[in-house]
């Protein structure tokens, strides 16, 4: 039962990442592309958590934690660059 | 299916809810008409979906594997703290790049740009600009 639910969730998150990729390629403004990248990071974290449940191992937690932190810093750096033309002033 | 134990049912429900929420959030990102409406999907719905997956993982590992770790709590904390901040930064960058003369959201039917705030002071994000320009160049 859990196996079917995990497969369903992984397919949903994979489809969501494909939609994000479409927005990343199409996005009319730069802010759209930043938003798409941020959402892809969040979906990648979800994918890692789901893969752990599927495999029954807990090896991806550190990677997911790092992605949660670095994704935020990257998004803020992109926005800061758009706003000020510089990241560290 | 009838002999499944309640913990399995709970984990499966959380996984299905998480997957559907993640998909709906990204669908909103792909289908909404303007950036200000597109911000709603990823920042709220997808975050909730990941939170649901993390809850499923938080139940699964102690109940099925007998191991416990605080990593899920840390990931949840980071995601739920940073999602509003990133949304704010993206909206602010968008406003400043569009300029206040152009309506950032074409669905609002406001032809002449951002409306007045109505409280005496202007939009807070545009208030500091004159002071910034007065700075001597470095």
- For B44-59, what is each residue's pLDDT tens digit? 999 999 999 999 888 8
Please state the domain count of chain A: 1
Q: Report, as ranges of residue numbers, the positions in chain A whose pLDDT lies below 70.
A: 89
pLDDT-based confidence at residue B138 (cuts at 50, 70, 90): very low
Q: Is the pLDDT score of B130 beyond 60?
A: no
Best mutation target among A4, A8, A24, A35 (most B Cβ atoms within 10 Å) is: A35
Three-state secondary structure along A2-50?
HHHHHHHHHHHHHHHHHHHHHHHHHCCCHHHHHHHHHHHHHHHHHHHHH
Q: Which domain holds residue A9?
A: 2-84
Q: Given this model, what pLDDT does residue B3 score?
A: 62
Q: Given this model, what pLDDT does residue B128 score?
A: 65
Report, as an integer, the average pLDDT of B7-18. 90
Closest Cβ opposite residue A5 in set B12, B42, B71: B12
CA distance A67 to A41: 7
Q: Given this model, what pLDDT does residue B129 score?
A: 61
Whether ipTM exceeds 0.90: no
Mean pLDDT for chain B overall: 81
pTM recorded for the entire structure: 0.84
Picking from B9-18, B36-45, B66-75, B116-125, which range would have the lowest pLDDT averaged per residue? B116-125
Q: Given this model, what pLDDT does residue A7 score?
A: 93
CA distance B13 to B19: 10
Residue A89 lies in a domain: no
CA B33 to chain centre: 17
Query: Is A43's CB within 8 Å of B53's CB?
Result: no
Residue A17 lies in a domain: yes
- DSSP labels for B70-103? SHHHHHHHHHHHHHHHHHHHHHHHHHHHH-TTS-
Closest Cβ opposite residue A75 in set B50, B78, B86: B86
């Amino acid at each position: 039962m859990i196996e079917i639910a995990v497969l369903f969730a992984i397919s949903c998150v994979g489809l969501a990442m494909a939609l994000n990729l479409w927005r990343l390629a199409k996005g009319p403004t730069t802010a759209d592309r930043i938003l798409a990248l941020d959402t892809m990071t969040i979906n990648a974290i979800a994918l890692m958590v789901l893969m752990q449940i599927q495999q029954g191992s807990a090896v991806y937690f550190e990677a997911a934690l790092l992605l949660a932190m670095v994704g935020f810093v990257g998004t803020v750096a992109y926005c800061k660059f758009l706003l000020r033309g510089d990241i560290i002033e | 299916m009838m002999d499944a134990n309640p913990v399995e049912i709970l984990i499966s429900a959380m996984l299905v809810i998480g997957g559907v929420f993640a998909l709906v959030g990204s669908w909103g990102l792909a289908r909404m008409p303007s950036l200000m409406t597109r911000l709603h999907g990823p920042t709220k719905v997808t975050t909730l979906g990941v939170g649901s997956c993390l809850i499923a993982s938080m139940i699964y590992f102690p109940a099925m594997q007998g191991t416990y770790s605080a990593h899920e709590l840390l990931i949840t904390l980071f995601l739920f703290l940073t999602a509003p901040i990133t949304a704010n930064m993206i909206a602010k960058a968008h406003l400043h790049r569009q300029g206040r003369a152009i309506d950032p959201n074409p669905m609002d039917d406001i032809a002449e740009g951002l409306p007045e705030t109505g409280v005496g002071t202007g939009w807070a994000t545009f208030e500091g600009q004159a002071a910034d320009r007065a700075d001597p160049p470095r």
